[in-house]
Amino acid sequence: MLATLMKAAGNVGVDPSLINTYTLRRIRMKSKSPIAGACLALLSFLCIVASGSADAQTNPPPTGEAIVRAGTQASRPGPDEFFTGRVRVDDLWAADADINSSGSMVTFEPGARSAWHTHPIGQRLVVASGVGLTQEWGKLTQMIRPGDVVTCPPGVKHWHGAAPTTAMTHLAVTGSSSGRNVTWMEKVSDEQYNAR
C-alpha cells in the first residue's frame, strides 16, 4: 500500500517522501476498513494539492497585518548534528501560502559554523553583526561583514559561520519546497574551515 500511495503522490505532484509509515499508521488508526482508509488517503492528497503546498496547510497566512512581538518566540540551539560549535537560532517566521520562505536570525560563536548543505530552492543571508565566513564547494572561503547579502542558489553546496575569533549573526531567508528547506551533508572539518 505504501508504494501505491507514494506513486499516487508523485503523479499528483506531491513529494512522495511526505508519504511514510507514520502517515499510513494514522490512516489505519482512523479506520479498520481498507476502502475507507484509501478514501481518507485520497482526501489527504486532495487537501495538500488544493492548498498548493504542505506549508500552506500547517501555516495559514494571516488575513490582516500581524505583529509577532519580540520575546514571544523562544531561541533554540543549532543542533550538534548540523552545526559545529555554539550556534543559536531565533526563528522569526515560517513559510506559508503567501510567502514560501522562512526567516531566522542565526548567531554563531567564534569558530562555529554550519555543516555543508544545499537548499532546494535557495537562500538569502544578510549579515547583521560581527564577522563571518562562507564557502561554496570547490571555491575559496570568503569573509562576510554586516550589510553583506549572500545569495545561495538552489542545490549549490555551501556552509556559513563565524570567523575564528569573532562571532557573527545573520538573517537567513530560506525557500521551502514541500515543507523542506535544507539538505544536510557532512560537517566542515577544521582543515576546511581554516583553509584560506
Residue type, 120: P
Phi/psi of residue 8, nearest 5 degrees: -60, -40
| Chain-centroid distance, C-alpha 60 | 18
* Minimum distance, C-beta of residue 105 to Mn ion, in the bound complex (Å): 14
For Mn ion, the closer of residues 109 and 136 by Cβ is 136
The residue at minimum Cβ distance from Mn ion is 123
* Minimum distance, C-beta of residue 34 to Mn ion, in the bound complex (Å): 43
Residue that is written with C-alpha cell 533554540 in the block: 76
* Minimum distance, C-beta of residue 170 to Mn ion, in the bound complex (Å): 10
Dist. CA 57–CA 47, nearest whole Å: 8
For Mn ion, the closer of residues 28 and 82 by Cβ is 82
Q: List all residues 6 or more positions away from 53 whose beta carbon is below 8 Å from its beta carbon.
A: 97, 100, 176, 177, 178, 179
* Minimum distance, C-beta of residue 12 to Mn ion, in the bound complex (Å): 30
For Mn ion, the closer of residues 10 and 137 by Cβ is 137
For Mn ion, the closer of residues 123 and 169 by Cβ is 123
Nearest to 161 by CA among 140, 185, 132: 132
Dist. CA 174–CA 112, nearest whole Å: 20
Residues that bind Mn ion (CB under 5 A): 123
The dihedral sign for the CA sequence 45, 183, 136, 114? positive
For Mn ion, the closer of residues 59 and 123 by Cβ is 123
For Mn ion, the closer of residues 16 and 120 by Cβ is 120
* Minimum distance, C-beta of residue 150 to Mn ion, in the bound complex (Å): 8
- Give the helix/strand (H/E) hosting 87: strand 87-93
* Minimum distance, C-beta of residue 117 to Mn ion, in the bound complex (Å): 6
Would you call 143 exposed, middle or buried from its count of C-beta atoms within 10 A (0-12, 13-18, 19+)? middle
